[in-house]
A and B are shown apart, each in its own frame.
Chain A
Amino acid sequence: MNHNRSVCRYLLRLAFFACGAILLAVELYGYALEGKSWPKGTVITMQMEMGAAGRTLQDGSTNWDDAAVPAIYEWNANMLNVRINPVMNSSKPVASDDGINSASFSDTVFGEKFSSGVLAVTYYLSQSGQMTEADVLFNKAALFDSYRGDLQFNSQGQCVCDVQRVFLHELGHALGLAHPDDHGQTVNAIMNSVVSNLYQLQPDDLAGIHSLYGAPATTPTPTPSPSPPPPNRLVNLSTRMQVGVGDNVLIGGFIIQGDQPKKIILRAIGPSLAQGGIAGVLQDPKLELHDAAGALLQSNDNWQSSPDVQDIIDSSLAPSDPHESAILTRLAPGNYTAIVLGVNNTTGIGLIESYTLDTNATHAANISTRGRVGAGDDALIGGFIVGGHTSKTILVRALGPSLGNSGVDNVLGDPLVEMYDANGQLFASNDNWQTGGQADQITATGIPPSDPREAALIATVPGGDFTAVVRGADAGEGLGLVEIYDLDQ
C-alpha cells in the first residue's frame, strides 16, 4: 500500500513537472490560431484593389497594391501547403460572401462602421472549419504610407502607418492566425494586435504558420547571387491565327511564375503582317488583358493612344503600324488571359505577342492560345523564344475534343502539332499523344491531354526561336488550343 502511495506521489510529481514543461514550451511560441485554415493545396487568389496612392509613397510606390503586395510574397516564402496569388490592380466588386478574396480601402466593414483606432480588419468566412473567403478592409479614415523601419507619427501624434506591415498582419488573419497578445502571450510578433516597429515576420509568426501549413524545405535567402547566370527562360511568346468574332476571337493565356511582379509588353499585330506577304490580315486589332477570374485589367486600341506610349517606344518593341495595339504593364505572379479582337467585329489574321522586359527571377512559364484552326495560313501558330545559352525542356499540347467538355462548340476534332526551329525546319510533330512514343513521359508531367485524339510532345530545345503549328490532322477545322509549358520550372 505504501509502495502504491509513493508511486502515486511520484506519478503526480511527474505529471506536475510534465505540465510545467508543457507550459514552458507553450510560452516559447505564443502564436494563437483562429481555429480555421485553408485546405492543403489551396491557391488563395487575392484581388488587390487598393488603388492609386495619388502621390509617391516613401518606398517609391505610387500604387497601394504595389506597396502592399510584398507582404503576400513574404508569407508565400514561408508556407509549404498553400499559396496566395495576388491579382494586381483588380476592379472586382468587393463583397461579403461572394467567394472572392480581396484587399481594398473602405469606409465601412460591409456597411457597418469601423471602430475608431482600427487600421484594418480581416473579414473571413469558413465552412466546416475550412476558410472559404477572406477580405482585408483598410480603414479609409486612417493615415497610411509605405516604409520600412520604425513606426512614424505625424505632428499631431497620429500614426502614419506602413501599409505593408499592416497587410502582413491582416494576411496572417486571412491565413488563420490570431493575436498572441490577446491570448495572454508576450512575444515578438507581427500578429500582435498593435502595429509596431516590427515590419517583418518574426519567429513566432513563422512557428504559427508552419503549424498550419508546414514549412518550406529550404529557407529562402534574401541575398542574390552577385553574377547570376543568364536565364534560359521563355522570354517571348506569340501566336498567330485567324481572328474571328464571338468564340472565335484570339485568346492567349500565360502564367507569370516567381515571387515578384514582372514587367511585360503585350502586342496585338495585324496590318504589319501584310509586309510578310500574308493576305487577309486583321486591319484594326484591339487588345484586352484579363486576370484569372476574367476581370478586365487593361485594354488598348491603337498603341499610340496608350498612356504608356513613351515606355512602349523606349522598350524598342513599339508596333510598326499605328492601328496595332500594345499594353505595357507590371504583373504579379498569376494566370492571365490576353484577347485580340477586331474593332467593329472585323476579322482577319492577327498575332498576339508577349515579351518580358526585365530579368528578375519571375518569369512567364506557360502560354496557351485558343482560336479557330483553319486550313493553310489559318492554322493556329504559336511562337516562343528561349532566352539564355542552355537547353530547355518544354511540353507542347494541342487540344480540341476536350474543349467540348467546357461547353465550347465546333471544336477541332483531331489536332496535329508540328514544331519548327528558326530556320523553318520541322524537328518534331505529333498526332494523338498516346501513340507518339512519349506517352509515359507526357503522363509523368501530370498534365497529359484528356482525349487520346489530342496531340502532345516533349522537346528539349536550345536557346532560340521556335514555332508550334496546330492544324487538323484530317484537314478538319474548328476551335483549338495550343499550349507551351516550361518543364524546367
Chain B
Amino acid sequence: MKKTLGFLLFPALVSFGLTSYATTVIPPSFDQLMTRAQVIFEGEVTGLRSQWIGEGSQHRIVTYVTFKVDDALKGDPGTTYSMRMLGGTVDDRTMEVSDAPKFKVGDHDVLFIENNGSQFIPLVGLQHGRFRVEKDSSGRQTLLTGNGLPLSDVNQLGGKEETLARSRAALSLDDFKSIVRLRARSSQNQTP
C-alpha cells in the first residue's frame, strides 16, 4: 500500500527537497488523528475471529478484533469494542491487504478509530492510528508509534518522528491520555 504525503507535507518538501532517501512514512498529524477519529480508547486485545463475508466479487475474509476497553478517551466504545478489519485466515486460506496492522491476543494499544464496519482498515492513517503500549526499563508505560518509534511528543506526529523521537524522553501512557482527553474536550467545547 502506498500513501501520499498529503497537503501538510508539501511545504516540507519545498523546504528540504526530496532526495532519493526522503521516503519515510509521514503519518497523520495529532490534529488529524483527533479530528478524524470517532472513537479513541486504550484497550487490550482479548479475541480475534475471522470469517468469510460477502458474495460474488466481494467474497472476502474479515477479522473482528475484540478489545477489553480499559479507558475511553473519545466517543463511547463501551466496555468491549469490536473492530472489523479486511483480511484474515479461515482454515488454511489467508487474505491480506498490504500494510494492514496485525493484532494478537494480549496486545495493549491506544487506538484512533474511524468508519468501523465500512472502511477496510478502520484506523486513522492505518497503522498510524495505533499506538502500542509498552513498559520501559523502569516499568513505566510508554507508547510506540506506527513506525515502531517511541512517542515523546504528540507534535512529532505528522512527519518529524525520526528526529524528535530521539530528542526527548518517551511520553508516558498517562500523559498521552491526558493530552488526548484535553484535546477531545476542547474540540467538544468548540462544537456549536
Residues of chain A having any CB pair with chain B under 8 Å = 34, 36, 93-98, 108-128, 142, 150-151, 153, 156-159, 161, 166, 169-170, 173, 178-179, 181-184, 186, 188-189, 192-198
B11 CB to closest chain A CB (Å) equals: 8
- Is B169 positioned at the interface, with any CB of A under 8 Å from its CB? no
Cα–Cα distance between A98 and B58 once the two chains are bound (Å): 10
Q: Which residues of B contact A183 (CB under 8 A)?
A: 148
Complex CA–CA separation, A108 to B94 (angstroms): 20
Residues of A within 8 A of B127 (CB): 182
Of the listed residues B3, B93, B148, the one surrounded by the most CB atoms of chain A closer than 10 A to its CB is B3
CB distance from B35 to the nearest CB of A (A): 11
CB pair A124–B95 under 8 Å, yes or no, is: yes
Q: Does B4 contact A (CB under 8 A)?
A: yes
* A166–B23 CA distance with the chains assembled, in angstroms: 13
Docked Cα-Cα span, A117 to B92, in Å, equals: 32
**Which of B14-22, B134-142, B182-190 lies at the interface?**
B14-22
Chain A residue at minimal CB-CB distance from B94 = A126
| Subset of 21 A-B contacts with CB under 8 Å | A36-B96, A93-B57, A97-B59, A109-B120, A112-B119, A113-B118, A115-B123, A117-B3, A118-B3, A119-B4, A121-B1, A125-B94, A150-B18, A151-B13, A158-B7, A161-B4, A169-B2, A178-B98, A182-B127, A188-B23, A194-B23
User: Across the interface, do B18 and A196 meet the contact criterion of CB distance under 8 Å?
Assistant: yes
- For B7, what are the chain A residues with a Cβ–Cβ distance below 8 Å? 156-158
A194-B119 in contact given A125-B95, A150-B18 (Cβ < 8 Å): no
B interface residues with partner A (beta carbon < 8 Å): 1-7, 10-11, 13, 18-26, 28, 36, 54, 56-60, 86, 92-99, 114-115, 118-121, 123-127, 146-148, 162
CA distance A326 to B123 in the complex (A): 52
**In the complex with contacts A119-B3, A120-B2, A181-B94 CB distance below 8 A:** no
Main DSSP-derived SS at the A contact region? loop
Given A111-B54, A113-B115, A127 and B92 touching (CB < 8 A)? yes
- Which B-chain residue is minimally distant from A169 (CB atoms)? B2
Contact A118 B23, beta carbon cutoff 8 Å:
no
CA distance A151 to B114 in the complex (A): 29
Most chain B CB neighbours (cut-off 10 Å) among A110, A161, A183: A110
State the Cβ distance, A279 to closest chain B Cβ, in Å: 50
User: A197: which of B2, B18, B114 is its contact (CB, 8 Å)?
Assistant: B18
> A93 CA to B147 CA in the complex, in Å?
36
Q: Are B97 and A98 in contact (CB under 8 A)?
A: no
Check B97–A158 contact: CB distance below 8 A. no
Q: Do B54 and A173 touch across chains, with their CB atoms under 8 A apart?
A: no
Q: Which residues of B sit under 8 angstroms from A178, Cβ to Cβ?
A: 98-99
Is the CB–CB distance between A96 and B60 below 8 Å?
yes
Give complex CA distance A189, B22 in Å.
Answer: 10
Determine the residue in chain A with the shortest Cβ distance to B162.
A186
In the complex, are the beta carbons of A194 and B56 less than 8 A apart?
A: no
Given contacts A109-B120, A115-B119, contact A122 B126 (CB under 8 A): no
Contact A184 B148 (CB under 8 A): yes
* A120 proximity list for chain B (CB < 8 A): 1-2
Residues of B within 8 A of A189 (CB): 23
Q: Hey, which chain A residues are within 8 Å of B25, CB to CB? A: 179, 181-182, 192-194
CB distance from B8 to the nearest CB of A (A): 8
